[in-house]
């Protein structure tokens, strides 16, 4: 069968379709790069916001209209909003999360049968996303994903290591460890294992050149984990979703944090791993947020040492605790706060990039693009900065040491290769 994959959402969804593609290849199916050539189209969906849920529905409807393929929706959208999904899909064309978890167990896939790296439509990356856990121990008031994904559960170390070694054989130079609550890996395995233990095992039992962490909650970051960034194979970047720095709002969000704990964590990272770049997610307009709460978050961002981040406006999702909360913030106020916070994070990003000028870093090149009459290769530094390097050579999936030479008015970094 000819299969085409697409997705809405996060790196975890990408990791899942990468793994599903491996399973399809092992079972004798073929992957196609155009939806119109497919017998079956599998869409891994998302419902983290109203927009993500709407985008998931639109993508399914698009493929139903524009192709003759059997269209299948899997993941969070049908799991959290089954009535909506069943209004446009037959029951047999839905893969709910509990079915997906069983379908994509590492132990169910014969990796020895996979001879080539899967090519997934337009989503052909040099980095590989590796799902190490699913579900979440926390129940943040705004989050529907934890409802859709359920309890926290971890993949076994030996299965993860086997998968990473296979990815390296297929040519990958970087793996990104992903999960709903990445830092909770190991809590259900009954061996007092934590995410730092998994990273140590990967460092000792694989040869993959670069290991990167996706988003990790503040309460899951230990001193032991921070010390691991002394290893040059572990990419020196942490994405820590702060959401708010107001004690009042953090409590309403049901996040086990205080501003003081956040300040202590960021100070510890800056002290013991000063080369680690920190980015974050900020959620504004949560019910009850006033100007004082907003300003507390701004002041934390300003003094945190962040190198950038993302800002999201609160989206009331059905079934969450926050949906029933009083004190809903006007959309116009949330929009104004969003812009102020984004401008601040953009300033911090620009400042961080300027600090990195005239320094060197290892860059993994991903794609080629044209600017005017010149061709550039685009790649990522160890600390997650995108750099453009002029070259007529094929640098795809190669790691070179690059000098970061200049930055244009739009914040784009340019460099030159100095060695491999």
Q: State mean pLDDT over 132-141.
A: 93
Q: Output the CA angle 144-131-48, nearest 5 degrees.
A: 20
Domain residue ranges of the chain, discontinuous segments joined by +:
1-122, 357-419
**pLDDT tens, position by position, 103-117:** 778 877 777 767 666
Task: Give the pLDDT of residue 119.
Answer: 60
Mean pLDDT over residues 147-161, rounded? 92
Lowest mean pLDDT among 110-124, 275-289, 398-412: 110-124
Q: Inform me whether the pLDDT recorded for 122 exceeds 50.
A: no
DSSP letter string over 34-56? SGGG-SEEEEEE--SSHHHHHHH
Which of these, 223, 244, 373, lies nearest to 300 by C-alpha position?
Answer: 244
Say which CATH topology domain 357-419 has.
Answer: OB fold (Dihydrolipoamide Acetyltransferase, E2P) (2.40.50)
Find the mean pLDDT for residues 65-73.
97
Across the range 171-189, mean pLDDT stands at: 95
Q: The whole model's pTM is what?
A: 0.92
Kindly give the interhelix angle for 157-169 and 195-205, rounded to the nearest 10 degrees. Answer: 40
CA 77 distance to own-chain centroid: 18
**Beta-sheet pairing, 277-284 with 308-313:** parallel
Q: Do the Cβ atoms of 195 and 217 come closer than 8 Å?
A: no
Q: Mean pLDDT in the chain?
A: 93
Q: How much is the pLDDT for 403? A: 97
Is the pLDDT confidence value at 322 over 90?
Answer: yes
pLDDT tens per residue, range 231-287: 999 999 999 999 999 999 999 999 999 999 999 999 999 999 999 999 999 999 999
Q: State the fold for domain 1-122.
A: Rossmann fold (3.40.50)
């Amino acid at each position: 069968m000819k299969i085409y994959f697409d997705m809405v959402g996060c790196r975890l969804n990408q990791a899942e379709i990468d793994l599903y593609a491996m399973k399809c290849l092992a079972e004798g199916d073929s992957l196609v790069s155009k939806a119109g050539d497919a017998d079956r189209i599998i869409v891994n969906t998302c419902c983290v916001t109203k927009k993500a849920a709407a985008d998931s529905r639109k993508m399914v409807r698009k493929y139903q209209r524009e192709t003759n393929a059997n269209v299948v929706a899997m993941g969070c959208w049908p799991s959290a909003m089954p009535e909506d999904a069943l209004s446009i899909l037959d029951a047999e064309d839905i893969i709910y999360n509990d079915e997906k978890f069983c379908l994509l167990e590492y132990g169910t896939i014969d990796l020895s049968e996979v001879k080539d790296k899967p090519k997934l439509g337009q989503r052909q990356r040099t980095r590989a996303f590796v799902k190490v856990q699913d579900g979440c121990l926390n129940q943040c008031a705004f989050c529907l994903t934890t409802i859709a994904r359920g309890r926290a559960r971890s993949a076994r170390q030996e299965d993860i290591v086997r998968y990473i070694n296979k990815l390296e054989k297929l040519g990958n130079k970087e793996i990104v460890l992903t999960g709903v609550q990445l830092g909770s890996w190991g809590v259900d395995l009954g061996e007092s294992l934590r995410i730092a233990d998994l990273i140590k095992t990967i460092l000792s039992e694989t040869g993959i050149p670069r290991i990167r962490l996706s988003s990790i909650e503040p309460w899951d970051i230990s001193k032991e984990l921070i010390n691991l960034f002394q290893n040059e194979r572990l990419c020196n970047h942490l994405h820590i979703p702060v959401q708010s720095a107001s004690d009042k709002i953090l409590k309403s969000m049901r996040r086990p944090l205080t501003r003081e704990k956040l300040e202590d964590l960021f100070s510890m990272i800056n002290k013991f791993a000063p080369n680690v770049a920190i980015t974050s997610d900020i959620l504004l307009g949560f019910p009850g947020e006033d100007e004082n709460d907003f300003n507390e978050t701004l002041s934390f961002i300003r003094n945190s040492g962040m190198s950038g981040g993302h800002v999201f406006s609160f989206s009331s999702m059905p079934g969450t605790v926050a949906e029933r909360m009083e004190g809903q913030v006007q959309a116009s106020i949330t929009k104004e706060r969003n812009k102020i916070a984004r401008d601040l994070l953009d300033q911090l990003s620009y400042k961080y990039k300027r600090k990195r000028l005239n320094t060197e870093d290892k860059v993994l090149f991903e794609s080629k693009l044209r600017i005017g009459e010149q061709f550039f290769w685009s790649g990522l530094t160890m600390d997650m900065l995108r750099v453009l390097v002029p070259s007529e050579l094929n640098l795809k999936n190669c790691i070179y040491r690059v000098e970061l030479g200049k930055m244009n008015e739009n914040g784009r970094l340019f460099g030159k290769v100095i060695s491999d």
